[in-house]
Amino acid sequence: MNAPSSLQELIEALRCLPGVGPKSAQRMAYHLLQRDQSGAARLGRALTNALALIRHCDRCTNFTEQPVCELCSSPRRDNAMLCVVETPGDLLMMEQAQCYRGQYFVLMGRLSPLDGIGPRELHMDRLVRRAADGEIKEVLLATNFTVEGEATAHYISEMLRAKGLKVSRIARGLPVGGELEHVDSGTLAQAVIERREI
């Protein structure tokens, strides 16, 4: 026997979430309908609202409800530095670390040719325009140290250097409080390669 069509549609819709297969989608749908109808209604409202209100910031492309987000319009930020990150979550991590007071550009992804994500999908043209606005003195690349994150950083650095911009990359290193014997050999090797004079 097939599930009623609205239930079937709910299960199908839940499968748009990353990592959710048919079984978990079914479990979620049953949970929402049987155990948490008010939670389900709230989820529905929140989704509709977010879809209607959330847009990309004109300057950094992060999610915002304004044309220009709060961070980009803050007078307390250093307008000479631009930090490039992959996701809004990475931006939050940078902010929580409280080590950076400049501006951001959020790629909303990373170069991944196999998934069809190229320079155009990441709005690299906007990044170039933003970095070459005359105020930015240095672009700090804070993409991840994955194969794709490294390739993305390399691509951006070539592109921006060709425009005469100063480009830097966050350093890899040992975790704070970390002991050498507990660190993977790749991280340790990189820490030696990127050593600095003291």
Q: Write down the H helix ranges in the chain.
A: 5-14, 22-34, 37-53, 70-73, 88-97, 124-131, 147-161, 185-193
Q: Which residues bind Zn ion (CB under 5 A)?
A: 57, 59-60, 69, 72
Sort 152 into a burial class: Cβ within 10 Å, 0-12 / 13-18 / 19+.
Answer: buried
In terms of CB distance, is 58 or 150 closer to Zn ion? 58
CB 89 to Zn ion: min, Å: 15
The nearer residue to Zn ion, 29 or 104, going by C-beta atoms, is 104
Minimum distance, C-beta of residue 103 to Zn ion, in the bound complex (Å): 8
If the CB atoms of residues 126 and 154 are measured against Zn ion, the closer one turns out to be 126
Give 82 or 160: the residue with its C-beta nearer to Zn ion. 82
Q: How far is the CB of 107 from Zn ion (least distance, A)?
A: 13
Asked if 71 and 62 count as a contact pair (C-beta separation under 8 A), the reply is yes
Q: From the CB of 164, what's the least distance to Zn ion, in Å? A: 24
Give the Å distances, CA to CA, from 44 to 26, 173, 178. 17, 43, 44
CB 144 within 8 A of CB 110: yes
Give the SS3 label for residue 173. Answer: coil
